[in-house]
Structure 1
């Protein structure tokens, strides 16, 4: 028996896309030709880890070790090795996806509160 999994497009940019699978309660992050399938809490940890990177300090550094950042979180089987431009794009992708998820959650809550 073959069952298809319906994915909801949360946010798409030139850099990648974020999808939601309601059936399995997962977030799929497609970035830098890598697909990460995450539980919601792992997605939030990934966003927090990327948000904690000081991009301005990284951009202003003359140290060669500041040319890239390694991002890894518990619950994510991917290790991202990202350059500064990739980090900017990844940070934007995750932020917009989180905003859309929050907005959808609020709309869903409002609709079902009014229907009850």
Structure 2
């Protein structure tokens, strides 16, 4: 559950997950698998990197039972993600979309600042 005092804005939403940004606490909130997890900015991008580095091809080709799931424990959270291949793909989708929107927002603000400076 997102803190009721938080000032959140939608960053990116899919059918399976959502990412919100909280300007008040300077963090991102990930809603996934029926729970909400808070990340500071650096930890959010590190978590995305961990998810992106999961070797799905190895998981698909290895018949060992321990390759059916991946366990990720994000830094500075109390959450433990136990992810199937489908859930990894869902998580990658929302995290990639969120990263794109965050970067796009930065580019837009940069363009607006440079235009404002040129107008002065």
Judge same fold: TM > 0.5, yes or no: yes
Query: CA offset at residue 20 of structure 1?
Result: 0.4
| Map 1:63-82 → 2, pairs under 5 A | 63-82=64-83
**CA distance, structure 1, for counterparts of residue 6 and residue 93 of structure 2:** 27
Runs of 4+ with deviation above 4 angstroms: none
Listed one character per residue, the Cα deviations across residues 35-72 of structure 1 (whole Å, up to 9, x for unaligned) are 11110001011001101101122112211111100011
Matched, 1:39 2:40: yes
**CA distance, structure 2, for counterparts of residue 99 and residue 77 of structure 1:** 26
Query: CA offset at residue 110 of structure 1?
Result: 1.1
Query: CA offset at residue 4 of structure 1?
Result: 4.5
Listed one character per residue, the Cα deviations across residues 8-42 of structure 1 (whole Å, up to 9, x for unaligned) are 11110111100001121110000011111110001
Question: When the two structures are superposed, what TM-score results if normalisation uses the length of structure 1?
Answer: 0.91
Aligned-residue Cα RMSD (Å) equals 1.4
Q: How many residues align?
A: 114
Question: Unaligned 5+ residue runs, structure 1?
Answer: none
Matched, 1:7 2:2: no
Aligned to 2:25: 24
Aligned to 1:87: 88
Query: CA offset at residue 73 of structure 1?
Result: 2.5
Question: Unaligned 5+ residue runs, structure 2?
Answer: none
